[in-house]
Structure 1
Amino acid sequence: MSQPTEQSPERPSGRAVPTSADVARLAGVSRATVSYVLNNTSAVRISEPTRQRVREAAEELGYVPHAAARSLRAGHSRMVLLPTPHVPVGPLYSQFFNDFQWALRRLDYTVVQYGSVGLQAEEAARAWAELRPVAVVSLGEVELTGQGVEILKRSGARAVITLGTQRVEGTHAFVMDQGRVGEVATEHLLETGRRRIGVIVPEEPGLAMFSGPRLDGARRAAEAAGATVVPLPLRYEEESADALAARWRELGLDGVFAYNDEYAMLLMRSLQDAGISVPEETAVIGADDLLLGRLLRPRLSTVRIDMVVGRELAELVDRAVREPDAPPVSRDLLDSRVVRRESS
């Protein structure tokens, strides 16, 4: 039995892995044409019938381009690394990242999610750098440092983009002002005459990066008005919400900012079950403006948050990859405004 070669390695089953040369022979074209078609090269004009023959030949043979070879030709990979969120980010953020990933795919990037639970700073940067991504987009759960950014760039990353609560040197930074979310929610409750306001602080791991600044923002607004804010730890469980509702009148609260719409809906149901009327006894406001909140009775007041559009962020990644020496972009996100409904 002959030994497999680099040009035609063998599969574990013994069948040879198809190569671009095999596709070229079957389609009746050159290997260069196969490369142009399957790598979506726009610089060379190739007729649509030829493109179709190449695609059909590749599909028949089960051939896919080799990512490493493609990276060598381009001088960089097309991989965008997204550290996987290890916190329950909610529907608003999930939709954003779905849109972002689809937009990257349309720009011909390969999106790879990386489980980064337990990794810290430079340790995370080194782990990401091992995959040689052309760009890294971090949610801010790992506190990237300037040194970590330098590690990524030395490994070939042309762009490092952060979405977090602070700017990081050397990155394109989208800063999310979480404090403003709590501030506008509390200002709204104060405007409705509430003076002793509860603020839900989720007990789920990893949410402190959001809930801490939102609590601080609520405190700023209350302090300016001479009102009181009471932090309320809560697990995203019916039992936890019921236990909190059972001592609600003891706490003497007349309003609550419930962190987001999901926690608001959980708490509001428990309050109603405990005989506490909303909004007469307690006004309730969430955040994220989820559709489900509008279907409740009373309809849920909320803070609508305007995030960066996924397509816009994908286009920034593409520009940064093509122009790695361009000055970093820095923008503030989360323009927050109250949508008042019946719950407050």
Structure 2
Amino acid sequence: MARLAGVSRATVSYVLNNTSTMRISEPTRRRVRAAAEELGYVPHAAARSLRAGHSRMVLMASPTVPLSPLYESFLGDLQAALGRMEYTVVQYGGPGCTGDAAVRAWAELRPVAVLAQSGHGLDPQGVAVLKRSGARAVLTLGPERVDGAHALLTDHSLVGQCAAAHLLARGRTRIGAVVPAERGLDVFSRPMVEGMRRAAEGTGAEVAELPLAHTEEAAARLAGRWRDLGLDAVFTYNDEYAMLLMRALQDEGVRVPAETAVMGADDLLLSRLLRPRLSTVRIELPSGQALAELVDRLVRAPGARTEAHDLLAATAVRREST
């Protein structure tokens, strides 16, 4: 490789190992990388770990519940950003892999960092096990903190509060709150309903929970008794449930928004394609690059004091459906 690139073996080593203490010109770096690509060079992970004094594996626990397109995109961006920083990202887990069993399985892989979403049952003892196995950083993603771990907080009550405030400002006083019947989504939907009720306190408005499975049949049944419920607005958990329910309401002759205002969340493209165009809650999350840099800082400073980082912000987007 050194001969092909026209440089010394030492220079090849410096470039491929991203040695920051050596000043090497960008044209030389490009020649070395081009030679490595031409020769099919693949770095040796174990050797790289020995040089660094720790592995470069970041374990992202597989979600235990279905994720919205927004969160799938967010986690994908984070994974790509970590890859650009030369971490090896492993997604691990499956149905039933929670609590102590999950922690033991993660620890066996000796990751340098672990990111676990809500639903895995990670507790302070589990954090301690992971750190003893070599994890320099343990991060949780969800609404609650775990002692010993850095918390990436996602408070979904803000989403419900934002939606209810918008509907109340539009003069709606009998608001339905869709609660998905699908298993595991209550970790998101329950805080949303709580946020809606907080927004409605002292206004005289009411918030009624509406269990709904994500099927056309379930939506049709709910729409069929809509007028009996006496609701003049509904927050549908997300844009996908909004699409489902709004179509069913229109099939029943319920006029949107004249009789019922409909609001979703996530601000997906489909929210602008529906007719009437869907009002929604735009959920804002930090870039994957910003979180990857946080993970890298924690790996480099494993004794850093654990902190909580609020990730989620919510903004109402008014369109024709409200």
Taking structure 2 as the reference length, the TM-score comes to: 0.91
**Judging changes above 3 Å, is the alpha-carbon distance between structure 1 residues 49 and 213 closer, same or farther for their aligned structure 2 residues?**
closer
Structure 2 partner of 1:89: 67
Alignment pair present for 1:98 and 2:67 = no
Matched residue type, 2:271: G
Counterpart of 1:341 in 2: which secondary structure?
coil
Matched residue type, 1:147: Q
Structure 2 partner of 1:80: 58
Aligned runs of 1:129-168 on 2, under 5 Å? 129-168=107-146
Aligned runs of 1:1-344 on 2, under 5 Å? 33-46=11-24, 51=29, 55=33, 58-59=36-37, 61-344=39-322
Counterpart of 1:138 in 2: which secondary structure?
strand
Structure 2 partner of 1:18: none
Q: Give deviations 1:6-36, integer Å, cap 9, x for gaps.
A: xxxxxxxxxxxxxxxxx56877877655443
Q: Is the contact made by 2:112 and 2:299 (CA closer than 8 Å) also made in structure 1?
A: yes
For 1:58 and 1:305, the matched residues in 2 are separated by 42
- Cα offset for 1:207? 1.0
- Cα offset for 1:77? 0.9
Structure 2 partner of 1:13: none
Matched residue type, 1:295: L
- Cα offset for 1:337? 2.3
For 1:303 and 1:51, the matched residues in 2 are separated by 46
Q: Is the contact made by 1:116 and 1:124 (CA closer than 8 Å) also made in structure 2?
A: no
**Judging changes above 3 Å, is the alpha-carbon distance between structure 1 residues 174 and 224 closer, same or farther for their aligned structure 2 residues?**
farther
For 1:229 and 1:302, the matched residues in 2 are separated by 18
Identity of counterpart residues, as a percentage?
Answer: 66
- Cα offset for 1:88? 2.4
Q: Is the contact made by 1:137 and 1:161 (CA closer than 8 Å) also made in structure 2?
A: yes
**Judging changes above 3 Å, is the alpha-carbon distance between structure 1 residues 280 and 63 closer, same or farther for their aligned structure 2 residues?**
same
Query: Where does the alignment leave 5 or more consecutive residues of structure 1 unmatched?
Result: 1-22
Counterpart of 1:327 in 2: which secondary structure?
coil
Matched residue type, 1:200: V
> How many pairs does the alignment contain?
322
Structure 2 partner of 1:6: none
Matched residue type, 2:248: S
Matched residue type, 1:269: R
Structure 2 partner of 1:12: none
Compare CA radii of gyration and give the structure with the larger one.
Answer: 1
**Judging changes above 3 Å, is the alpha-carbon distance between structure 1 residues 60 and 331 closer, same or farther for their aligned structure 2 residues?**
closer
For 1:322 and 1:276, the matched residues in 2 are separated by 58
Counterpart of 1:152 in 2: which secondary structure?
helix
- Cα offset for 1:133? 0.9
Counterpart of 2:18 in 1: which secondary structure?
coil
For 1:341 and 1:48, the matched residues in 2 are separated by 49
Counterpart of 2:265 in 1: which secondary structure?
coil
